[in-house]
Structure 1
Amino acid sequence: MDDATAAAAYAHWRDVPTRWSDNDVYGHVNNAVYYAYMDSVINDWLIARGGLDIHAGAAIGLCVESHCAYHAPAAYPETLRVGLRVGHLGRSSVRYELALRRDGTPLADGWFVHVFVDRATRRPVPVTGPLRGALEELVVR
């Protein structure tokens, strides 16, 4: 997949700089940190575009599934591009699909599934309003 095709396959791209603390003893970004990059890009979108109130909102998104396939290493200092799209938007759940790239080189691909639940009861709630609108912006057809 060329850069233009890859860029069009994701609705949102964000630059994520690696940090000194991201490297492990093998000299590359530790595998768990890729999940942190993906989770941060998702939640930044939900907060900024969807109005998600992570501290006091009635609904919160809980990760119920995640996956990452690693293709090439990254290291500090680098700036990675993280692509985000929605692969499936249900009544109370969403599957985010992500791509981590460096200068067009695939580093990793992954997904997260969030189920939105009531903060107090932890029971699923419908995704509605600005949050649903923000998620619909990420659906690539």
Structure 2
Amino acid sequence: MDQSLTRADFLHHSTLDTRWMDNDAYGHVNNVVYYSYFDTAVNRWLIEHGLLDVAHSPAIGLVIETGCRYFAPLTFPDRITAGLRVSKLGTSSVRYEIALFRNDEDQASAAGHFVHVYVGRDSRRPVPIPAATRQALTALQVTP
């Protein structure tokens, strides 16, 4: 993913607020916090669509890979819009792409990816993505 990404490149948007503690000694959001924003955007979408019950879902998505490219700093008290889309949907895995937009800016400040592999809650072995989840993820899917 590159710096030319705009809000229009994403099929779902959610708002996140930076927190005072997100800033580091250099006066901007620390790089590790971006991964927390990614995690929040993905899991919020799953929960809001009734696809994840954190305590009871028989199949859960475990993160196996993440990555991020940074283009412009975020800082407290920015309001962030997280753009979300699906770039790959396999049998038991899904690759989300997320971009973070600062305040009302249209260009991404950061862009990354987040891969879930679905596993049985108890077995921790790969399982097919549940049918309802697959159907919802298909609506977020973009062609490469």
Q: TM-score with structure 2 length normalisation?
A: 0.90
CA deviation string 1:11-62 (max 9, x = no partner): 1011111111111111110101101001100001111114211111111100
Deviation at 1:128, TM superposition (A): 2.2
- Residues 7 and 108 in structure 2, CA contact (< 8 A), matched pair in contact too: no
* Count, aligned residues: 139
Alignment correspondent of 1:127: 129
**Is 1:112 matched with 2:128?**
no
For residues 84 and 108 of structure 2, the distance between their equivalents in structure 1, rounded to whole angstroms, comes to: 14
Q: With structure 1 as the length reference, what TM-score do the two structures score?
A: 0.92
Q: Percent identity?
A: 50
With 97-106 and 80-89 compared, the bigger mean Cα shift is at 97-106
Point out 4+ residue stretches in structure 1 off by more than 6 angstroms. Answer: none
Give the 3-state SS of the residue equivalent to 2:6 in structure 1: helix
- What is the letter of the counterpart of residue 88 of structure 2? H
What letter is aligned with 1:10?
F
Is the 2:15–2:81 contact (alpha carbons within 8 Å) kept by the matching residues of 1?
Answer: yes
The alignment yields a C-alpha RMSD, in angstroms, of: 1.7
Give unpaired runs (5+ residues) of structure 1. none
Q: Which runs of 5+ in 2 are unaligned?
A: none
Higher mean C-alpha displacement, 67-76 vs 122-131: 122-131
- Pairwise CA distance, 1:8: 2.7
Give the structure 1 partner of residue 98 of structure 2: 98
